Structure 1
């Protein structure tokens, strides 16, 4: 586990990073990438979207161009202060200080759950993805943007020491273990490194699909 896959360390890290986050962020996660990621979703204007790890609200700004309701959540009070400065505490977005592993929302509360630049800090990615599935409606979509695993063995060792980096195979495993279907990935990035990020979109099984899957599993177990 990397040094920043610890919630206390990550909060301390963002206490200082929040001061320059909006200046640094465009070099890693820019508007073109955000637009491309949003384009991977089947999204309607009246969909209710949860932005987990919303930070200063960069993704939130893009999402508000295509939907009317976005709820933001972040574990860093310092990042949220920057978000409040942009949107106001009583503006169009309702922000929550909270933990991605224990979302303070009811089951099936959102049509889309979005998370960009957050998964790399999660100590238990599969459990967190299951929590995303819980709050996303059957048939809804979850989109996660995270850091693509480096190709160089030297950078792989450095990446592993810092936080979670992963490739498409690992993304497949995590999302399927969390109970998602229709899992697709796309590599994207700024011009200097077009494969720096991996964006995954997956669908929450609807009730009929879940029942069919459970029936098929039971039949296989019975035959065995």
Structure 2
């Protein structure tokens, strides 16, 4: 388990990263990548959408282009304070401070669940995905963006020491274990040589 796959350390990490997050983020996960991922989801204007690990609201901003019913959840108050300045605490978006592994919502609450740049910090990714399946409506989609596993042994060792990096095979295992079906993956990259993201879309089974 990587050093940042610990909730307390991750919160401390984001306390400081939040100051420069919006400046650094575009070099790894930019508007074009976000918008390309959003096109994979058939979000309707009346859909209720949950953004897990919403951070400063970068993905939230994209989701608002599709629906006004966006809910953002994050464990870092420092990241969320940046989002509050953009959207208000309960104006454009309803925000919740919470844990991906224990979502504070009723079963079948959302039409879509989105999560980008968050799974790599979850100590128990499958537990969080089980929660996703619980709160998303049957037959509806979730989309998760995480860091693609490096291809070289040296970089793999570095990646494993920091946080969760995974490939399509491992993503299949996690999503299948959580009970999802129709799992597909897309590799995204900001520019040649930059870190790659693995974007997974999966469907909760019909009842």
TM-score (norm 2): 0.98
- Indicate the structure whose relative CO is greater, using CA pairs within 8 Å and at least 6 residues apart: 2
The within-5 A match list for 1:81-96 is 81-96=81-96
Determine whether 1:80 maps to 2:80: yes
CA distance in 1, matches of 2:77, 2:68: 24
Report the count of equivalent residues. 207
Provide closer, same or farther for how the CA distance between residues 45 and 193 of structure 1 changes in structure 2, counting only shifts above 3 A.
Answer: farther
Q: CA deviation at 1:42?
A: 2.1
SS of corresponding position for 1:86: helix
CA distance in 2, matches of 1:37, 1:143: 8
Aligned to 1:201: 201
Q: CA deviation at 1:41?
A: 1.0
More helix by share: 1
Find the structure with the greater CA-based Rg.
1
CA distance in 1, matches of 2:38, 2:190: 16
Q: CA deviation at 1:193?
A: 3.6
Aligned to 1:26: 26
CA distance in 2, matches of 1:89, 1:160: 35
SS of corresponding position for 2:22: helix
Alignment check: 8 A CA contact 1:188 1:194 kept: no
TM-score (norm 1): 0.91
Which aligned segments of 4 or more residues in structure 1 are displaced greater than 4 angstroms? none
CA distance in 1, matches of 2:199, 2:17: 23
Cα RMSD of the aligned pairs, angstroms, is: 0.9
Aligned to 1:221: none
CA distance in 2, matches of 1:192, 1:76: 31
SS of corresponding position for 1:56: coil
Aligned to 2:106: 106
CA distance in 2, matches of 1:44, 1:38: 12
Aligned to 1:146: 146
Q: CA deviation at 1:81?
A: 0.4
Alignment check: 8 A CA contact 2:141 2:203 kept: yes
Q: CA deviation at 1:46?
A: 1.0
